[in-house]
């Protein structure tokens, strides 16, 4: 009697090990990771990822925005590969699994196929997209957005961080501005494994879920202009307090999001008082 076929299993211990090995690049005291895109820590994990891909027999190339592609050949190289991946950068107080799980899962997939001696019909391409998080440069998902044509390469290269450093300068500083044109690497399909960033699965007692839609995102940058005056000597009716106005906007935004819930959300993630002082009414935010 022939033995019943079983699903091929990855080496979960190996995947777990790579996740924690890469977590050393930008590790924080509380067990998280601070690995901002195109930083020195990002270069470290990129170098690690390139070597790991090459050791697994992949051909690695980098496009003009620093996105990395590791190609495993298939029987039919006339067809575009199946893309698997995510990103290696993190938020300023990120975790060990956000983003990198999807990229390292692709690596583990290839390692498992190699161990089993399996040649796939289509090639497989593991991807690391540059600046998915958007914590250093805006917009988030900038390289993948340029890939699909939402932005030009030159536009993204000219974007600046809070210190005035452009994407082009940051790429050059870590040696990851590639020669391949953005969008040249085509895909037959794309698969991304991702740790849930919200509390829904845990709240519902579920282990895994399948994404069936994407969140539409609108970002707004604004300025509230009031009038700076002394906090101790300006009566309330004569104040033009920019921070108090921002508070009303925050509450209005929250009310609108709740009204259109449960799928609608609203967040104000950054607010900067110009020339702040505890004795001065905020005049500009």
Whole-angstrom CA distances from 187 to 53, 103, 122 are 18, 16, 10
pLDDT of residue 2: 58
Query: Is the pLDDT reported for residue 4 higher than 70?
Result: no
The dihedral through the CA atoms of 64, 66, 67, 73 has a sign that is positive
Average pLDDT, the chain: 94
Q: Report yes or no: 79 and 187 within 8 Å, Cβ to Cβ.
A: no
| pTM, two decimal places | 0.82
Q: pLDDT tens digit string along 201-237?
A: 999 999 988 888 888 888 899 999 999 999 999 999 9
Give dist(CA 273, CA 285) in Å, integer.
5
Please, where in the chain does CATH 3.40.630.10 lie?
A: 12-204
pLDDT of residue 56: 98
User: What 8-state DSSP symbol labels residue 189?
Assistant: E
Give dist(CA 284, CA 174) in Å, integer.
37
Both structure tokens of 81: 């590969």
| Nearest CA-CA partner of 222 in 240, 244, 242 | 242
Task: Say what percent of the chain tops pLDDT 90.
Answer: 85
The topology (CATH level 3) of 12-204 is: Aminopeptidase (3.40.630)
Q: pLDDT tens digit string along 52-111?
A: 999 999 999 999 999 999 999 999 999 999 999 999 999 998 889 989 999 999 999 999
Structural Rg of the chain based on CA atoms: 23
């Amino acid at each position: 009697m022939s033995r019943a076929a079983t699903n091929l299993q990855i080496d979960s211990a190996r995947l777990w090990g790579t996740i924690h090995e890469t977590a050393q690049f930008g590790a924080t005291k509380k067990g998280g990771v601070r690995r901002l895109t195109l930083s020195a820590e990002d270069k470290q994990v990129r170098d690690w990822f390139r070597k790991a891909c090459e050791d697994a027999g992949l051909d690695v190339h980098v496009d003009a925005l620093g996105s990395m592609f590791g190609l495993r050949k298939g029987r039919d190289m006339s067809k575009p590969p199946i893309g698997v991946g995510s990103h290696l950068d993190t938020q300023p107080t990120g975790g060990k699994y956000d983003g990198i799980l999807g990229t390292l899962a692709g690596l583990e997939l290839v390692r498992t196929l190699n161990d089993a001696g399996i040649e796939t019909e289509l090639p497989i391409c593991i991807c690391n997209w540059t600046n998915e998080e958007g914590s250093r440069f805006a917009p988030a998902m900038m390289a993948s957005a340029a890939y699909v044509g939402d932005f030009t390469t030159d536009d993204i290269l000219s974007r600046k961080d809070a210190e005035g450093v452009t994407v082009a300068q940051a790429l050059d500083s870590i040696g990851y501005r590639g020669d391949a044109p953005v969008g040249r690497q085509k895909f037959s399909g794309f698969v991304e494994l991702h740790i849930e960033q919200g509390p829904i699965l845990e709240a519902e007692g579920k282990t895994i879920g399948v994404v069936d839609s994407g969140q539409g995102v609108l970002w707004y940058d604004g300025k509230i202009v009031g009038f700076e005056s002394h906090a101790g000597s300006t009566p309330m009716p004569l104040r033009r307090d920019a921070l108090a106005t921002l508070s009303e906007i925050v509450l209005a935004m929250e009310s609108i999001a709740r009204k259109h819930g449960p799928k609608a959300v609203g967040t104000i993630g950054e607010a900067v008082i110009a020339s702040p002082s505890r004795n001065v009414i905020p005049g500009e935010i």
